């Protein structure tokens, strides 16, 4: 569980910067945060958690009927927890505190992987595997679509540049 947490958290941190590192990598944008919006930050938990669950699927002692349903539940929970906790904390603080936001990311990753560990050890059955497969494909599709066509709602608004999912940011501009 601890190794999964370290791996998934580190991958999420790396994905935070891959848009800047690979500006022309159109496919990498699906997985990395293209701006500082809350939605884009949920990618940093969703994809690493999903990757860990895919790796866990191939471990015979972990995989059992219903594991894919758990995988969908955990990956979905990873994207719900961040805004569910972030916005009340931000309202209380009345401003962005980077340390708090970063800590919140690691907290959400830990909760999700801890729940996965609990469910697997107790052989919990939450959803049928088919529902899990459909749900994961749906979430992947939503992330892909909204990366390129974000709706104009607060969850998708970059608080720094006040834009919705635009790929051209200050670091993309060439020096004059």
pLDDT in tens, the chain (176 residues): 788 889 888 988 898 888 778 777 677 888 888 888 899 889 999 999 888 888 988 988 888 888 999 989 999 998 899 999 999 998 998 888 888 888 999 999 999 989 989 999 999 999 999 999 999 999 999 999 998 899 999 999 888 888 887 655 444 455 44
CB 78 within 8 A of CB 171: no
Residue 164: strand, helix, or coil: strand
- List Cβ<8 Å contacts ≥24 apart for 28-31: 29/147, 29/148, 29/167, 30/143, 30/144, 30/147
Residue 153 sits at the vertex; the CA angle it makes with 150 and 158, to the nearest 5 degrees, is 70
Residue 32: strand, helix, or coil: coil
Cα–Cα distance measured from residue 101 to residue 86, given in angstroms and rounded to the nearest whole number: 7
Using a 10 angstrom Cβ sphere, with 0-12 exposed, 13-18 middle and 19 or more buried, the burial of residue 95 is exposed
Cα–Cα distance measured from residue 165 to residue 125, given in angstroms and rounded to the nearest whole number: 37
pLDDT at position 176 is 47
The size of the chain, in residues, is: 176
Tell me the sheet residues that pair with 157: 164
pLDDT at position 26 is 72
pLDDT at position 169 is 46
CB 112 within 8 A of CB 74: yes
Structural domain spans, the chain? 2-163
């Amino acid at each position: 569980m601890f190794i999964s947490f370290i791996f998934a958290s580190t991958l999420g941190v790396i994905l935070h910067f891959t848009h800047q590192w690979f500006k022309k990598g159109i496919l990498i944008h699906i997985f990395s945060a293209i701006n500082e919006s809350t939605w884009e930050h949920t990618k940093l938990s969703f994809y690493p958690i999903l990757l860990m669950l895919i790796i866990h699927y191939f471990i015979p002692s972990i995989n059992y009927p219903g594991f894919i349903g758990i995988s969908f539940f955990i990956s979905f929970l990873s994207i719900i927890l961040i805004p569910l906790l972030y916005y009340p904390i931000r309202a209380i603080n009345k401003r962005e505190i980077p340390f708090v936001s970063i800590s919140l990311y690691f907290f959400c990753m830990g909760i999700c992987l801890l729940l996965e560990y609990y469910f697997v050890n107790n052989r919990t059955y939450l959803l049928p595997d088919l529902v899990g497969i459909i749900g994961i494909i749906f979430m992947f599709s939503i992330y892909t679509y909204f990366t390129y066509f974000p709706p104009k709602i607060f969850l998708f608004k970059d608080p720094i540049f006040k834009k919705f999912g635009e790929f051209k940011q200050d670091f993309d501009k060439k020096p004059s």
